[in-house]
Amino acid sequence: MPLPETLAQGLRSAGWLAGLPALALIWASATLYAAPRIAEGLAAEGAAIVSGTATATGEPWLRLAASGRDLVAAGEAPDVAERATILSRLAALEGPRRIVSEVGIVETATPFQWAAIRTGTNQIALEGSRPVEIGRRALEARITGAVNPGTSLDDAARAARGAPPDFASAAAFLAARLSGLAKGGRAALSDTVLSLSGEALDVPAYEALRAALSDPPEGFSIGRIEILPPKVAAYRFAVEKSARGIVLDGFAPSAADRESALRTATEAAAGGTVEDRLLAARGLDPAIEPKSLIAFAFKLAELIQSGQVAFVDGAISVTGDAIDGQALPDAEALMRDGRPAGVAAGRVALTARPLSPYRVAIRRTAESVTLTGHLPDTATRERVLAALRPRLFREPVIDRTRLADGAPADLGDALAAAAPLVTNLADGTVSVSDRALTLTGESLYREGAARTPDRLAEVLPPGWTGQASVTARDAAERRDSATCRTDFAAALAGADLHFPAGGAVLTPAFYPALDALAALAKTCPSLRIAVSGPADPTKPPATPAAGPAAGEGAPAAEPTRVADAAKPEAHAKPATPGKPAPAEKETAKGDGQDRGKAEAGKANSPKTDSPKTAPSRKDPPKKEPAAPGKAAKKPAETSDEPPPDLPRLRAQAVVEYLLQAGARPEQVSAGPDGPAGPVVFALLP
């Protein structure tokens, strides 16, 4: 049957184009069938050449791969001549259309660097240099055994000399760490330094990485580690407090934040246990600063005896037993005004319970005296502070006590009685728990340490129990007198031992030298030191007629006339004509038994016509107002001379300081008055 005219006309118009799909199908089939056979043929032709490049490892350095009808040669030839020979032999083959050379030369890599990168869930790429002494397949087998089963390697590393010993162990160690990292994780080696970077897959993987990096292969060290903790959906942080100590739970964004939380918990536990359950994880709102959140949580924890401070779902809350009734409004105020930026306020559910036991402590160190715990009222607090302050030379008193009910009725009596005992110590603590008082520490003197228990028993109120455990800090005695004398000279070398003009108060410049002398006296019992206090330079003459005689030195500068240069001086009234003006001496109180506090010095001031007592060093002189309508009279004359006993006062101030610092009374004494200048020390036979 003939084709319709329309269809026949269409076929004639299409012509040869109608056969193109069939031709394409035939070409594709032939290519798919023939290409593998061509590649196999090319590989077979070069197999003999490849096997001829075998090295001492048993593996050939030459690798061939077919790309269509091209033959790609790769590997690292031992030298240039060997590479040229191999390429010539490949070029002589009849099958390949052309030879593509990617053959390099084995060189020395300095530094020797190698890296493994996780490029997929089950794929690792190798790059850099591998030891020429280790065959490629042997190294790949070592690495494959260290990673997850089914992981494939894309090895682009090139053979080189200069690898560190036991390179294969380090490479396998690094590759194994990639199992805990997400895509993009990188493990690298540079000579003997190992580094790791990337994001941990999950919390267990992060902890496993931290543990593994603490034990690198022998001969290698850990370098730069940049591992991001995993990100969690529900970030939380909690501080649990009990009588046993503190438990940290939840997450910390980094290792540094975790260490910060641990340090703060250790300080807050005050000797109690600290259990660390924190895990490293991200997920905290970027608007919240981690360290600020941790610090705020511990501020709230200070207000509870037992309970929990928890940060969950962006809000922080505190529950449990408050340390005292004052803690309830304190927690509300802190939650309202002290929260870090980005942190929401949670609930405050605290219960105030009677304190049992009732505790307070006085801690004495070389730098300060600190009160902690609870006191019943402000009157008791002021009484304790008043008992401490007069017995301290320069140490500040830091009050961290809080007010709470439940104290023993005579708590103030017990603390006031114990205050002199703890201030006498070089380092010590008075701890009170209900009606039991414990004193521990170190004394500068053996005698003081020995009599402290008896003194404590004498001063405690009835019904109290006391226990004292005080040791002596005296250094071991040294009997070598020659060494003692040499060290004596060394302790004073370069010291600035000048008093202010007119003053008998030690300046800070004295302390290093005097502390060194006291320490030396404790180790050299035979040392005997005499201290000579200096006078002030003489005042220059008022008129030329009263100038120095020929041959005398130039007059010295006019000294200040006050015992303490920081204090103002009142003008003296003229003495009664024909009668000498006797001087009234101002004395500084010191506590010889309680740490032997140094005398501040004594200064003479002219006596006035009226029988008023001269002002003390602590109270500046008061000026009496002039009578109305009359101008204030100026004194007829004033005394510009320093106190006549100023050298003795200065010597006594130095002696008292040395006794405070630990020298024995029989080792230090005041010597004859010295001339103007520095304090003079002399060794006695």
Query: If pLDDT is split at 50, 70 and 90, which confidence band does 33 have?
Result: very low
Q: Above 90 in pLDDT, residue 307?
A: yes
The pairing of strands 304-312 and 273-280 is unpaired
Size of the chain in residues: 685
| Res. 193: pLDDT tops 90 | yes
Report the pLDDT value the prediction gives residue 532, as an integer from 0 to 100.
94
Contact indicator for 152, 199 with CB cutoff of 8 Å: no
Q: 36-105 — its CATH code?
A: 3.30.1340
Q: Which pLDDT belongs to residue 40?
A: 65
Who contacts 75 (Cβ-Cβ below 8 Å, separation ≥6)?
53, 60, 61, 62, 63, 103, 104, 159
Question: How many angstroms separate the CA atoms of 513 and 240, rounded?
Answer: 49
Q: Which residues contact 42 (CB under 8 A, 6 or more apart)?
A: 64, 66, 69, 71, 93, 95, 96
Which residue is it, tokens 């001087």?
Answer: 583
User: What is the distance between the alpha carbons of residues 225 and 195, in angstroms, rounded to a whole number?
Assistant: 6
pLDDT at residue 340 is higher than 90:
yes
Q: What is the CA radius of gyration of the chain?
A: 45
Residue 648: per-residue pLDDT: 93
Residues 320 and 310 sit within 8 Å (Cβ to Cβ): no
Angstrom distance (rounded) from CA 96 to CA 42: 6
**Lowest-confidence region among 44-48, 220-224, 572-576:** 572-576
- 364-400 pLDDT tens trace: 998 899 999 999 999 999 999 999 988 887 789 999 9
Residues β-bridged to residue 215: none
Starting at the edge strand found earlier in the chain, the sheet holding 63-67 runs 63-67, 70-77, 98-105
> What is the predicted pLDDT for the residue at 670?
92
- Other CB atoms within a 10 A radius of the CB of residue 595 amount to 24
Look at residue 239 in the predicted model and tell me its pLDDT: 97
**Whether the predicted pLDDT of 190 surpasses 60:** yes
Cα separation of 263 and 256, whole Å?
11
CATH for the stretch 108-228: 3.40.1520.20
Q: Residue 523 — pLDDT band, cuts 50, 70, 90?
A: confident
| d(C-alpha 559, C-alpha 467), whole Å | 53
Residue 545 has pLDDT above 80, yes or no: no
* pLDDT, averaged across the chain: 80
Are 414 and 442 contacting, i.e. CB atoms less than 8 angstroms apart? no
The whole-number pLDDT of residue 416 equals 94
Do residues 423 and 369 touch, judged by C-beta distance below 8 A? yes
Q: For the packed helices 167-177 and 203-213, what is the interaxial angle rounded to 10 degrees?
A: 160
Does the pLDDT at position 562 exceed 60?
A: no
Q: Any idea what the Cα angle at residue 676 is, between residues 673 and 677, rounded to 5°? A: 110
Q: What is the CATH number of domain 476-542+558-617+636-685?
A: 3.30.1330.60
- What pLDDT was estimated at residue 434? 93
Band (pLDDT 50/70/90 cuts) for residue 580 is very low
Q: Do domains 108-228 and 359-472 have the same CATH topology?
A: yes
**Is it the case that residue 494 has pLDDT exceeding 50?**
yes
| Amino acid 681: pLDDT | 94
Q: Confirm if 681 and 492 have CB atoms less than 8 A apart.
A: yes
| CATH fold for the domain made of 236-352 | hypothetical protein tt1634 (3.40.1520)
The answer to whether 202 touches 229, Cβ cutoff 8 Å, is no
The number of beta carbons lying within 10 Å of the beta carbon of residue 497 is 19
Residue 345's pLDDT band (cuts 50, 70, 90): very high
Question: How far are the Cα atoms of 64, 65, 105, 159, 423 from residue 48, in angstroms, in the given order?
Answer: 11, 14, 21, 22, 94
pLDDT confidence of residue 519: 85
In tens, the pLDDT along 138-166 reads 899 999 989 888 899 998 899 898 999 99
Half-sphere exposure in the Cβ direction for 657 (13 Å, CA): 23
Query: For residues 454 and 468, what is the distance between their CA atoms, to the nearest angstrom?
Result: 9
Residue with tokens 């307070």: 360
Whole-model pTM: value is 0.50
Domain map (residue ranges) of the chain: 36-105, 108-228, 236-352, 359-472, 476-542+558-617+636-685
Tell me which architecture the domain covering 359-472 has in CATH.
3-Layer(aba) Sandwich (3.40)
Q: What is the pLDDT of residue 600?
A: 35
